[in-house]
Amino acid sequence: MSSAPAPDADPKEEKYGFADDRDVKAALEDADKAQKREDAIRNKSRWRRIKETLIEWGTLSSCHGVPHMAQAHSILAVIIWIIILIVCFAIFLYLFADTLKQYLAFDKLVQLQMDLEEMAFPSVTICNINPYKESQIMLNSQLEALLTVYDQVVNGDTSMPT
């Protein structure tokens, strides 16, 4: 005896014999969803598809200002961002063209300026950076003897101090 197919059974399941396989059912459902998405995209107007593509590109763009424009919620914000971008691009073009023009001119500038005016003599400050005061060293007999020996060596006097 053969079993009768269930009234709600899919003919594909009966034909290929995978009525109980959950993975296959999930794959078929995913394929149906993908087909519905494609149909929805095809049914959209051309302008709508272009707009969605531009918004997607704008949000993923790394150009400064473009993501702000793409994520703007009002037409006024979009217009303001467009104006800002156009002004910045125009300034860039102007500066680039000016720099390129200067570079391609191959100008050779030699400017020599000799000012032989009398200069004022600078103020001179002599600062003693020695942390020791000689008057204080002379109060200590051992340090005084050491300083005397040092002076004799520096001056080339080899005689022994008395």
- Please report the pLDDT score of residue 160 as a whole number: 65
Give how many domains the chain has, as a whole number: 2
Token pair of 99 as six digits = 């720099």
Same domain for 93 and 142, yes or no, is no
Same domain for 28 and 69, yes or no, is yes
Same domain for 88 and 26, yes or no, is yes
Same domain for 25 and 98, yes or no, is yes
Element housing 153 (H / E):
helix 141-155
For residues 13 and 19, the answer to whether their CB atoms sit within 8 Å is yes
Could you tell me if residue 116 is inside a domain?
A: no
- Please report the pLDDT score of residue 1 as a whole number: 46
Could you tell me if residue 118 is inside a domain?
A: no
Same domain for 26 and 81, yes or no, is yes
Same domain for 40 and 98, yes or no, is yes
- Please report the pLDDT score of residue 83 as a whole number: 94
Q: Which residue range is the domain that position 146 belongs to?
A: 129-161
pTM of the complete model beyond 0.85: no
- Please report the pLDDT score of residue 92 as a whole number: 97
What is the torsional sign of CA 97, 98, 99, 104? positive
3-state secondary structure 21-74: CHHHHHHHHHHHHHHHHHHHHHHCCHHHHHHHHHHHHHHHCCCCCHHHHHCCCC
Same domain for 72 and 32, yes or no, is yes
Could you tell me if residue 85 is inside a domain?
A: yes
pLDDT tens track of the chain, all 162 residues? 445 555 555 655 555 555 567 787 888 888 888 888 887 777 777 788 888 888 888 889 888 888 888 888 899 998 999 999 999 999 999 999 999 999 999 888 777 777 777 777 777 777 777 777 888 888 888 988 888 888 888 888 777 655
Same domain for 143 and 79, yes or no, is no
Same domain for 61 and 134, yes or no, is no
Could you tell me if residue 71 is inside a domain?
A: yes
Same domain for 47 and 89, yes or no, is yes
For residues 65 and 77, the answer to whether their CB atoms sit within 8 Å is no
